[in-house]
Amino acid sequence: MPTDTKSALLMTAERAARTRGFDGFSYADLAESVGIRKASVHHHFPTKAALSVALMHRYHADKEAACARVDAAEPTGGARLLALINLYREALDGGKSLCLCVSFSTSRESLPSEVTAQIGRFRMMMIGWLEATFEVGRCDGTIAGVEDPAAEAAATLPLLEGAQLAARAAENPAIFECGLKLLRQRLT
């Protein structure tokens, strides 16, 4: 549990954005959840745009750190890719949630340009990590059929995001599993 109001607001806002989308919550909702006045939310985040920027920066840093932990814990490309699939599965929360980047992308027209730019930077970071993972998997033989790690990475991130979005739309995590079946079959 966060020890300060700003952290509590970020956690509450992220949960709301991931389950209801960017347009699905208000500052009044946040104030009620955290137990503060609406004016106090504005003290920490003067606008919803400022809040969304802070959320994306935090999300990017968290996922970058998660990828570094995966790299440190998993020696093979196949194990690293499986760990990332598991992170996306966990973010799905049984079909009730999305990762923040996917959730924000569904509200693109409502987002400030800095957030859409941050989404782009996040995706580039993830594609770079995936490319390195596919290269490791090609070299160690733990991901079958890798000919072009960059192309694999560019195709895998939308696959993960799309499978998550489809599973969330139906509130059925089995759709996520089905969408990634062929990719998982390539892991040795």
Name the CATH superfamily housing domain 54-185.
Tetracycline Repressor, domain 2 (1.10.357.10)
pLDDT digits (tens, 9 = 90+) for 15-30: 999 999 999 999 999 9
Mean per-residue pLDDT over the chain, rounded: 95
Buried b (16+ CB within 10 A) or exposed e, 127-143: bebbbbbbbbbbeeebb
Please give the backbone phi and psi of residue 73, each rounded to the nearest 5 degrees, phi first. Answer: -90, -25
Residue 9, pLDDT score = 96
3 falls in which pLDDT band (50, 70, 90)? low
Domain residue extents for the chain: 54-185
Its pTM stands at 0.93
Check: CB of residue 172 under 8 Å from CB of residue 97: no
